[in-house]
Structure 1
Amino acid sequence: MLVLEGIPLFLIEMAIGQKMRLGSLGVWNTIHPWLGGIGISSCVVTLFVALYYNVIITWVFFYLFNSIRLTADQLPWAHCPYDNGTAEAECNKASATVYFWYREALDASPSIDEPGVPRWWIVLYLLLAWIIVFFIVMKGIQSSGKVVYFTSLFPYAVLTIFFVRGITLPGSSDGILHMYKPKLEKLLDPTVWLDAATQVFYSFGLAFGSLIAFGSYNPPNNNCVRDVLLVSVCNALTAIYASVVIFSILGFKAYTMVENCIVKEIKVLALHHIGGFTLNSTADYYREQFPRLNGTAIAALNLTGCTMSRQLEEAAEGTGLAFIVFTQAILKLTPAPFWSIIFFLMLLSLGLGSQIGIMEGMLCTIFDIDFFKRLSKPVITGVVCTFCFFVGLIFTTGAGEYWLKMFDSFAGTIGLVVVALLEMIAVIYIYGHEKFTNDIYEMTGYRPGIYWQVTWRYVGPAIVTCILLSSLVFMLINPPMYGAWNADEGRVIKTPYPTWVLVIAVLMILAGVLPIPVVLLLRRFQCLAFDVDIHQGSIRRIETTVSTKEMMSDQDVLSPESAPPAPAQLVADAATKFTIGDFDNVESSEERPNKRLPAGIARSRPKK
C-alpha cells in the first residue's frame, strides 16, 4: 500500500500544490471547474476528522494530568477504588486499568442510545485542546511551523527511551516475534485493506488537502521528489521502530499477565486436587503438567492454559491500546508516573502534530476563497475552532467513545478513499500525466520514470478502486457494530448500531462525497451562477498562498505585468472545455453558440 499507492499520491499532492501555488480548492478549480467539488469534499472530510481527532488529544490530556503525582508513587489506575472497605464490583469484574478508562475517564454509558449529559471534566479538557490548537495554527505556517519542530523530534526521544527500556524487559522478544508472525488469512478481509489504506492516508496526511497546502508554501524550484522520497523512507522506518517499541512493551505486559494467570490457575488446580498440584507448585511444573490434564476438567474449571500467544492475541487496538493496554504495562515500570508522563507527552506531541496538518489543510482551503478575504486568519481560525468545540461536545457524553469510533469508521475512511481516487484521476487523466511530468521536470530537473507512470496511471487507481468497492460490499453484507461497555459484566460487548445512527453515518459519507457530483452537474449544465474566486494575493506571492502572505517581504511580490493569470480566469477558460480529452484545445464560440457561461462565471480571456 505504501509503495503502490501512498508514495505516488504523496508526490501528486505535493507537486501539484507547489506548481499551482494554491490550496486544495484552488488547485482542483484551476485544473477544471467541474472538479471543484474535490476541494470541497476534502475540506468536509477533514472537518469530520478534525472534530474527533482533537477528542483523542483531550483524553491524552486527562491521562497526562492524572499521571502527575507529587507524593504518591502509584498511578490512579493501579488499583480498584474502595467503597466501604470493599472494591467496586465493576472494577473487580474488569481490571483497574479498564475500570479507570471506562468509568473514571469516560463514564461510559451502556449504549449509544443513552449518551447522558456531557462530562464536565472532558468538556474542560476539550476546551483546552481547542484553545491550544487555535494558538498554534492562528498565524498559519508561520506559527505552526515552529511548533512542528518539537512535535516531530520529541517523540523520537521518547521512543528511544522506551526502546532501551523495553528490549531489556522479560517477554519483549516474544512480543516482537508476534508482530512479525504472518496471518495470511487476514488478507482476505476487505476491511483490513481499507484500514491499511486509511493508515497510509493518516500517516502521510493524504487526501486531507494539507499536503497541497504545504506544497504551495514551497519555493517554485523546490525538489519535491526528493522531499517525498525522504519523508516516505523516514515514515516507514519510524513506523517499524515504533512497532518494535510497542510490541516489546506488549510482550512484557503479556509476560506479567501469564505469570499472574499461572499463579491463579495453580490455586484452582490445587483446590480441586487435580494433577497433583499444591499451593507450592512452581510455574515450570504447571507448564509441564497442564497439557497432560483432562480436557473436560479444564473446561469445567474455565482454565485457559496461560500462554503468551493468547495474551498477545487479546491485546486491544485503537484507543484501548493506548489507554488500557499500554497504561497497564506502564504500571510494571519503575517509577510508573515518570514513564506515564513521558508516554502521554509523546502522544500529545504526535496528536498535536497531526491536528496541525489537518487544520492547515482545511483552513487553507477556506482562506483561499475570495469571499473570506476580508477576514484575518486568526478570526477564521477562531470561528472554525469554536464551531468544532461545540459540535465536539457530543464526544464528551457517556457515548463519546462510541461516536468517535463511528466517525472514524465512516466519515474518516470512505470519504478519504473517494477523494484520493479522484485526485489521481484529476491530475493524471484530466490535467494530463505528460503535462504533470513536465511540470515536475521544470521544478526539480528530474523526470519521473516508469515506476511513477505505472503507479499513477494504472496500479494506484486500480488498488484504491478495489479497496473502495470491496469495503462497501463488505459493509453491506456485515452490519457495522461497535463495542459497548457493560458495567454488570465488566467487559465490552459487540453491539449493532441502531438504525438512526447508521442513517447519520450514511449522511456523513454523503456529505463528504456529494459535493463532487453536485459541483460537476451544476457547472456542466451552467446552473452555478456563483463562482468561487481564489484571492488574487494567493498567486502574487512567489513563496506562499494568501493564508501566509503576511510572512513575505516586498521583494517577494510579483508585479502585475509578471504575475500569472488569476485562478478565477483560469477557471473560466477551463469552463468552456467540456470533454475529458485534450484540455489544451478550446473550441471557438462559433462552434459552441449555446454554451455561453453565466455572467457570474465567465471571464474575459487573455489576449494572445
Structure 2
Amino acid sequence: MDQPPKAALKVKKEEPAEEEPTSSKKSNNPTSLSWGFKTREVRVTKIPNHFQVKKTENILILVAFSIGLGSMWRFPYLCHKNGGGSFLLMYLILLLLLGIPLLYMEMIIGQWLRMDSIRAWKQLVPWLSGLGYSSILACVLVSLYNSALISWSLFYLGQSFDYPPPWEHCPMLENISVTEAPCLRTVPHQYFWYHNTLRASKQIEEGIEVLVVNAALCLFATWVILYIIMTIRIKISVLMLIFSIFFPCILLLCFFIRCLFLQGAMASLRRLVTTDLSFLSSLETWRQAGGHVLYSLGLGMGTIITFSSYQTRGDNYIKLASFMAMVNLMTSLLSTAIIFLVLGFWTTTSGSSCVEKTVSNLVKLITKGVLPQAVWPPQDIIHKHPMEYLHWVSQLPRNLQEEVVHFSLPCSILVQKEKFMEGPGLAYVAFSQAVSLFPGSSFWAIIFFTALVVTGLGTMITLLEGIVLPLQSSVPTSTKHPKLIPVIVCLGGLLGSLVFTSRSGSYVVFLFDDHLVPMVLVIIVVFQNLSLAWVYGVKRFRAEMFGQLGRLVWAPFTFLWSYVTLPTLLALLTIYFLNLYHRESLYYISWNGSMSQEVKQPYQKIVLGWVTFLSALALLPMLVYPLQHWWQLDNQIICEIVEKSSSSKKAETRPNKGNQWPAHPLRRFTLRVQDKGQALLPGKGPTEGYFLHPQTTLANKDSENYTNFSLQGGSLTYP
C-alpha cells in the first residue's frame, strides 16, 4: 500500500460549538430562559383597515365599561358595608398601586401585539397559553350573574308603568298580625325588593330548585336582547354607548341634588368622607377593595387586551388608562353619595320619628273624616317605645288595622341602625326611593331604569365580545358560520344564569360576586403580571415597545410591575385563601320574612365546595397548557434521540467488521495539514485516528485507504 509522505501535523483540540440561530429563527423559535419557560420573539400582527375605523367606538366601549354595573351597583354596597370613607381610602390606594398600572399593561399589550387575549399570551409565553382561556372563563362567570342584574332592572322598568309605583306602598298581607306586618317593620322599598322582585327564601339552600317566573322571563328577555345587539352591533352601538355614558350621569346628578335636601341626609354623607382607622387594619376590607379594583376595570377578563388591539398606533394609553380609572371613580362616588343620602334619610325617619309622623298623619285623616274616630291614637303614644305603637294597633279590630296600616307613612316603625341594608340589592332599593321623591315618580322611574338597563347591556356587550371575538379567531369553523359562536354563548349564558332566578338566586349572586369571581381574577392577574415582568422580562418588553412604538414604556410603571403590583396581588391572594378556607364561618345576608329584616347566615361546606370547583374549572386551562407543552417537548426529545440513534447506526454499518467506525462520540480535531487533500477521521481513542488519502472520499471509504496514526506531543506521526 502506498504511504503518504511524512509531515509534521499540528493538531488543535476543539469542543463542539453550539449552532448560532439565524435571523429567521429568532422571530419564530422560542427563547429559553433559565427556569425553563419559553418566550417568543414577537412578530407583530397587522390589523385590517376595517378595524382601524373603530377607534372612537372602542374608546367609547372602554369608557362605558368603566362606568357600568361595577360603579353603579357594586361599589356603593361595598362602601356602605365596609365603613364608608375607610373603604374609599383603601380603594384609592389600590387603584393607584394596582388598577392604573395593570390597566396600562393590558392596554399596551393589546396595542403592541394586535391580538386578542387568547393569541396574545400564546405569542408571549407559550407555556402559559392557558391564560387567555382562563380569562374567557372568568368573563363567562361575570357575564352570568351580570345578566341577572339586568333582569332585575327590567323587572323594575316593567313595574314603573304603574302609578304610583308599587314600591311606594306595600300591601297588607292576610293571616299576619299587625305586629308582624312588614309595612310597619321596614320601608316599603326594601319589602318590594325581597318579596316582589326576588321572592327570596330564608337560606341559600332553600328554593334553589324553584324558579321565580317574573325573574326568569326578564332573564330570557335580557339574553334575547343581547343576542340581537351582538348580531347588529355595528349599526347601533355608537349611539347606545353615547347614551349609556352621558344619560346615566345626568340622572345621577339630578338625584344627588334632590337627595341633598332630605332629612338627615348630610349626617350620612359625612360618614362617606370620614375615615375610621380601625377599618384600615381589616384584611376583609382590603380584600374587597382589591377585588373591586380588578372587577371594575375589567382586569383579568381579557376585554381590555382584545379591544385595545383595535387601536391605531400612537395612542397615549397612559392618559386613556388614567381617564378610565377617573371616570369609574367619579361615577362610583356619585352613585355612592346618592345611596348614603337615602340611607341617612331612612335612619333619621325610622323609630320614634316615624311613629310621630304617622300619628300626626292619622289625626289629620280623622279630622277630615277619612278615618273613623275609633282609630284615634292615645295622646302619649309618641313618647313611648315604638313597640307600644305596634301593640296599640294590634288591639284594634281587623278592618281598622288594615286602614291604619294602609295610611301609615312609608317609614320603619322600628329603630334602624346606620347599616339599614347590607345586601347586594342596596342600589335597587335606594334608587327606587330616590325616584319616589320626584313628582310624577313613575315617569322618572321609567327614565332611570331604562338608563340602568342600557348601561347594564353596554357592560354585558363588552363582556360577551371579549368572549366571542377571541373564540372566533381561534375556531376555524367560525369563518364559515360567524353567528354560530354568539348563538352558543348566548344560549349557554341563558341556561347557566337560570340559577340566579331561583328564590335563593340573590344569595348565589352574592356568592359569585364576593368570593368566586374576585379570587379567580386575582389569580389570573398574578400570572399575567408574572409572565410579562419576570418570564418575558421588563427590559426586553421596554426594548420591544421602543422598537415598535418609537417610545419607551414609562419607567415608573415597569418598576411597579416588577416590585409593587406582584407582591400586592400575592398578598391579596393570600387573604382570599385565608378568608375562604381558614376562616371559622363565612356569612351572607339573607331575608327573614317573619321578622321583616336582614340577617346573617353562615355558608354551608357544600356551598364553599362549589366555589372551589368553579374556580378550579376556570383556572384549569392554565394547568393544562404547561402539561401539554411538557408532553409535546418530551415527545420531541424522544423523537430526536431515536432519529440520532438510527442515523448513527446507519453510519456504523461497514462491509468489513474489523474496520467499523467507533460507536461512541469523540472530540473533534482540527488539523493544519500542508497537503489540504488529507483529512483526519476519528479513531478509537482521544489521541488515535485514521489518516485519509487524498483520493478517498467519505462515500467510498474502505479499509485499504486508511493509515493508522498516533498523537505524540502535539505532532502527528504515522507508521
* Distance of 2:498 and 2:277 partners within structure 1: 41
Partner residue of 2:172? 82
1:507 partnered with 2:613 = yes
- Work out which of the residue numbers 559, 563, 566 in structure 2 matches 1:461: 566
- Work out which of the residue numbers 556, 575, 588 in structure 2 matches 1:451: 556
Report if the CA contact (8 A) 1:411-1:512 is conserved.
no
* Distance of 1:504 and 1:527 partners within structure 2: 35
Matched ranges for 1:388-467 at <5 A: 388-441=493-546, 445-467=550-572
* Distance of 1:447 and 1:341 partners within structure 2: 50
Report if the CA contact (8 A) 1:13-1:211 is conserved.
yes
1:108 partnered with 2:194 = no
- Once the two structures are overlaid, the 10-residue window that deviates more, 51-60 or 92-101, is 92-101
The number of equivalent residue pairs is: 505
1:519 partnered with 2:625 = yes
* Distance of 1:207 and 1:38 partners within structure 2: 9
Report if the CA contact (8 A) 1:315-1:321 is conserved.
no
Report if the CA contact (8 A) 2:173-2:181 is conserved.
no
Partner residue of 2:348? 255
Residue by residue, what CA displacement relative to the aligned partner does 1:478-509 show, whole Å, maximum 9, x if unpaired?
A: 33222332222222332222332222111011
* Distance of 2:558 and 2:294 partners within structure 1: 20
Higher relative CO (CA 8 A, sep ≥ 6), structure 1 or 2? 1
- Deviation of 1:79 (Å): 1.9
Letter in 1 for 2:316: N
Report if the CA contact (8 A) 2:253-2:334 is conserved.
no
Per the alignment, do residues 192 and 141 of structure 1 end up closer, same or farther by CA in structure 2, a change over 3 Å counting?
farther
Partner residue of 2:326? 233
Matched ranges for 1:508-547 at <5 A: 508-526=614-632
Letter in 2 for 1:399: S
Per the alignment, do residues 259 and 150 of structure 1 end up closer, same or farther by CA in structure 2, a change over 3 Å counting?
farther
Report if the CA contact (8 A) 2:422-2:589 is conserved.
no
- Work out which of the residue numbers 249, 252, 273 in structure 2 matches 1:156: 249
Letter in 1 for 2:585: P
- Work out which of the residue numbers 592, 617, 625 in structure 2 matches 1:486: 592
Report if the CA contact (8 A) 2:116-2:469 is conserved.
yes
- Deviation of 1:248 (Å): 3.1
Report if the CA contact (8 A) 1:91-1:99 is conserved.
yes
* Distance of 2:174 and 2:593 partners within structure 1: 20
- Deviation of 1:383 (Å): 1.4
Partner residue of 1:195? 288
Matched ranges for 1:118-129 at <5 A: 118-129=211-222
* Distance of 1:255 and 1:338 partners within structure 2: 27
* Distance of 1:454 and 1:460 partners within structure 2: 9
Per the alignment, do residues 39 and 225 of structure 1 end up closer, same or farther by CA in structure 2, a change over 3 Å counting?
same
* Distance of 1:223 and 1:443 partners within structure 2: 14
* Distance of 1:49 and 1:59 partners within structure 2: 16
Report if the CA contact (8 A) 1:138-1:377 is conserved.
no
Residue by residue, what CA displacement relative to the aligned partner does 1:519-570 show, whole Å, maximum 9, x if unpaired?
A: 11221232899xxxxxxxxxxxxxxxxxxxxxxxxxxxxxxxxxxxxxxxxx
Report if the CA contact (8 A) 1:176-1:247 is conserved.
yes
- Deviation of 1:327 (Å): 2.5
Secondary structure of 2:206 counterpart: coil
Partner residue of 1:243? 336
- Deviation of 1:86 (Å): 7.8
* Distance of 1:377 and 1:200 partners within structure 2: 34
Residue by residue, what CA displacement relative to the aligned partner does 1:220-243 show, whole Å, maximum 9, x if unpaired?
A: 333322322222233333333333
Secondary structure of 1:156 counterpart: helix
Q: TM-score, normalised by structure 2?
A: 0.64
- Work out which of the residue numbers 92, 98, 110 in structure 1 matches 2:190: 98
* Distance of 1:465 and 1:12 partners within structure 2: 18
1:168 partnered with 2:273 = no
Partner residue of 2:123? 30
Report if the CA contact (8 A) 2:118-2:133 is conserved.
yes
Partner residue of 2:430? 325
Report if the CA contact (8 A) 1:136-1:147 is conserved.
no
Residue by residue, what CA displacement relative to the aligned partner does 1:161-182 show, whole Å, maximum 9, x if unpaired?
A: 1123222333332222110111
- Indicate the structure with greater strand content: 2
Secondary structure of 1:484 counterpart: strand
Partner residue of 2:680? none
Per the alignment, do residues 19 and 205 of structure 1 end up closer, same or farther by CA in structure 2, a change over 3 Å counting?
same
Partner residue of 2:160? 67
- Once the two structures are overlaid, the 10-residue window that deviates more, 142-151 or 40-49, is 142-151
Letter in 1 for 2:515: F
Partner residue of 2:228? 135
Partner residue of 2:486? 381
Per the alignment, do residues 365 and 410 of structure 1 end up closer, same or farther by CA in structure 2, a change over 3 Å counting?
farther
Per the alignment, do residues 317 and 326 of structure 1 end up closer, same or farther by CA in structure 2, a change over 3 Å counting?
farther
**TM-align CA RMSD:** 3.5
Letter in 2 for 1:179: L
Report if the CA contact (8 A) 1:110-1:487 is conserved.
yes
Matched ranges for 1:567-578 at <5 A: none
- Once the two structures are overlaid, the 10-residue window that deviates more, 471-480 or 421-430, is 471-480
Partner residue of 2:31? none
* Distance of 1:100 and 1:59 partners within structure 2: 12
Residue by residue, what CA displacement relative to the aligned partner does 1:181-240 show, whole Å, maximum 9, x if unpaired?
A: 112222222222221122212221111110011111111333322322222233333333
- Structure 2: gaps (5+ residues): 1-93, 361-377, 389-410, 646-719
Secondary structure of 2:599 counterpart: strand
Secondary structure of 1:412 counterpart: helix
- Deviation of 1:62 (Å): 0.3
1:472 partnered with 2:577 = yes
Partner residue of 1:361? 466
Letter in 2 for 1:515: P
* Distance of 1:102 and 1:593 partners within structure 2: 73
- Work out which of the residue numbers 346, 355, 359 in structure 1 matches 2:451: 346
- Once the two structures are overlaid, the 10-residue window that deviates more, 51-60 or 409-418, is 409-418
Report if the CA contact (8 A) 1:222-1:443 is conserved.
no
* Distance of 2:634 and 2:481 partners within structure 1: 27
Partner residue of 2:687? none
- Once the two structures are overlaid, the 10-residue window that deviates more, 109-118 or 456-465, is 109-118
Letter in 2 for 1:325: A
Secondary structure of 2:439 counterpart: coil
1:44 partnered with 2:137 = yes
- Deviation of 1:146 (Å): 4.5
* Distance of 1:58 and 1:528 partners within structure 2: 50
Per the alignment, do residues 405 and 233 of structure 1 end up closer, same or farther by CA in structure 2, a change over 3 Å counting?
closer
- Deviation of 1:145 (Å): 4.6
| Identity of matched residues, % | 28
- Deviation of 1:3 (Å): 0.5
Report if the CA contact (8 A) 2:240-2:454 is conserved.
no
Report if the CA contact (8 A) 2:533-2:561 is conserved.
yes
- Once the two structures are overlaid, the 10-residue window that deviates more, 212-221 or 188-197, is 188-197
Residue by residue, what CA displacement relative to the aligned partner does 1:261-306 show, whole Å, maximum 9, x if unpaired?
A: 4628999xxxxxxxxxx94799xxx8xxx9xx9xxx9xxxxxxxx9
* Distance of 1:142 and 1:22 partners within structure 2: 24
Partner residue of 2:313? 220
Secondary structure of 1:19 counterpart: helix
- Once the two structures are overlaid, the 10-residue window that deviates more, 456-465 or 190-199, is 190-199
Secondary structure of 1:200 counterpart: helix
* Distance of 1:191 and 1:142 partners within structure 2: 45
